[in-house]
Amino acid sequence: MIRFSHVHKTFARTGAALQDVSFQVNKGEFVFITGPSGAGKSTILKLCFFEEQPSKGEVKVYGTSSSAFRPTDIPKLRRRLGVVFQDFRLLEDRNVEANVAFALEVTGTPPSQVSPRVARLLTQVGLASKSTALPRELSGGEQQRVAIARALANDPVALIADEPTGNLDERATRGIFQLFRDINASGTAVMMATHDLDLVRRAGCRTIEVNRGQVVFDSASDGGFRPSGEVLAVEDEA
């Protein structure tokens, strides 16, 4: 479903961000992308929702290939994906309900279906009681839940999260991660970039580690051992 084949990405100003990256994420899988800051995690995710295109190689996401796509394919693809960021990216002048409804309205959902779907989504993320609150009236964890509800609005087949817990305390992090696990359990694939190794160890999910733009470890092919011999995946404690 998401396949990177010998992907290189070079930026004009900063040079090579990714070099010969290849991996595949299957339907319903939960995958962590880890690595230090500047390793290329965000670039990998941006390539997934076609915010960037590879300089070389091919990214194929649910049938849309970076080698042969039309500009009109991108909105269609993005409706099948949900994207979540560290900084939430909510519309500050709209309440929780309107932020989630926005994603449905701009993708042409019939007006009569918007309200019930928003209510269902807010219940799913545990924010039904805060539907009329403005983002600034919510905690970081709650704001991220709104962002997740918005990402889930169009029933995505995959959720792409770039450091979603980066701005949260440990308790909020656990809550958000549990929410991702629940979403994944219902069949949605999750690709989550993080440098929170504790979280990764506890989760016991597939992990792809990148460093200096290269995949240095993939638990799907390398087993549970990193090149250094450190055991990465242990029993899930979450």
Partner 1 sequence: MRLAIREALLAFRRAPMLSALSVTTIAFSLFAFGLFGLVALNIRNALQRVEDRVEIRAFIADGTGSEATAAAVGDISAFPEAASVRLVSQDQALQRARRELGEFSDVFEEGILPASIEVQLKPGFRDPGTVKAVAKRIEVYDFIDDIRFGEEWVEKLHRLRNIATLAGLALGLTFAIVAIIIIGSTIRMAVLARSREIAIMRLVGATNGFIRAPFLIEGFLKGTLGGVMALVLAWVALTVINRFVVQAEFFEAWMGAVGVLAGACIGLAGSALSVGRHLGRV
Residues 6+ apart with CB under 8 A from 15: none
Among 26, 53, 107, 186, binds partner 1 (CB under 8 A): 107
Return the structure tokens found at 177: 């991660």
Among 20, 29, 58, 105, binds partner 1 (CB under 8 A): 105
Residues 6+ apart with CB under 8 A from 155: none
Return the structure tokens found at 185: 């359990």
Shortest Cβ distance from residue 220 to partner 1 (Å)? Answer: 28
**What is the helix (H) or strand (E) element at residue 118, kind and residue range?**
helix 111-124
Site for partner 1 in 115-144 (CB under 8 A): none
Closest CA to 50 of 167, 160, 187, 189: 160
Helix (H, G, I), strand (E, B) or coil at 227: coil
111: left (phi over 0), alpha (psi -120 to 50) or beta: alpha
Which one, 108 or 229, has the nearer CB to partner 1?
108
1 binds partner 1 (CB under 8 A): no
Which one, 147 or 199, has the nearer CB to partner 1?
147
Among 6, 11, 22, 91, binds partner 1 (CB under 8 A): 91
CA distance 61 to 55: 16
Shortest Cβ distance from residue 87 to partner 1 (Å)? Answer: 10
Which one, 38 or 75, has the nearer CB to partner 1?
75
Closest CA to 89 of 163, 180, 36, 172: 163
The window from 89-97, 124-132, 165-173, 178-186 that contacts partner 1 (CB under 8 A) reads 89-97
Shortest Cβ distance from residue 4 to partner 1 (Å)? Answer: 21
The window from 22-30, 73-81, 127-135, 228-236 that contacts partner 1 (CB under 8 A) reads 73-81
Which one, 60 or 79, has the nearer CB to partner 1?
79
156: left (phi over 0), alpha (psi -120 to 50) or beta: beta
The window from 53-61, 97-105, 164-172, 196-204 that contacts partner 1 (CB under 8 A) reads 97-105
Q: Which residues bind partner 1 (CB under 8 A)?
A: 49, 71-72, 75-79, 83, 89, 91, 93, 102-103, 105-108, 150, 153-154
